[in-house]
Amino acid sequence: MSKILFQHYGIKLLNGSLFRKIILNQKQVLEMIKKDLGFPCVIKPNDQGSTVGLTICKDESEVFAAVNLALEFSNIALSEEYIDGHEITVGIIEGTALPALEIKPKHGLYDYECKYTSGMSEYIVPLKFLKMYLKNFRCRL
């Protein structure tokens, strides 16, 4: 629902596709990803947070296992283009935006372990190059 609202208001989003468990055809999934996204790409459950069930697929040999993992957590798997970049977040408290901060996970992906294990991420405030980050900003939910 968030993506639908963001698109309605003109916010750029990552390209992607949804795959439903009940109509899953592995050959079609692979062809759609190859055509629309390429590799690497991200496959994750459509309705989970904290990177639960998320896989970054480097090539087509990883797609089926990634889709099956995502579908263990949801009836819908989501594929998105992968963008190698920086993890930036802005907290909001009672309608007031806090300073933007960069998150540097210890092992490259800001996954469940890095989010919830003390010492597994470094938080940098303030951002030194905020304008550079925002130049080509696209939202990932």
Predicted pLDDT at 135: 58
Rounded to 5°, the CA angle 70-138-8 comes to 90
Element at 6 (helix H, strand E): helix 2-8
* Cα–Cα nearest to 77, from 56, 53, 110, 59: 53
Query: Which of residues 61 and 108 earns the better pLDDT score?
Result: 61
User: Is 46 in contact with 4 (CB distance < 8 Å)?
Assistant: no
Predicted pLDDT at 133: 53
> Is the pLDDT confidence value at 137 over 70?
no
Cα end-to-end span (Å), the chain:
10
> Is the pLDDT confidence value at 25 over 90?
no
List, for residues 86-119, the tens digit of each pLDDT value: 888 888 999 898 888 899 999 888 888 998 999 9
> Is the pLDDT confidence value at 26 over 90?
no
Please state, for a pLDDT cut of 70, what percent of the chain lies above it. 87
Q: Provide the pLDDT confidence category of residue 121 given band limits of 50, 70 and 90.
A: very high
Q: Provide the pLDDT confidence category of residue 76 given band limits of 50, 70 and 90.
A: confident
Query: Which of residues 63 and 136 earns the better pLDDT score?
Result: 63
Torsion sign, CA atoms 21, 38, 112, 65: positive
> Is the pLDDT confidence value at 129 over 80?
no
* Cα–Cα nearest to 89, from 66, 70, 114: 114
Predicted pLDDT at 39: 93
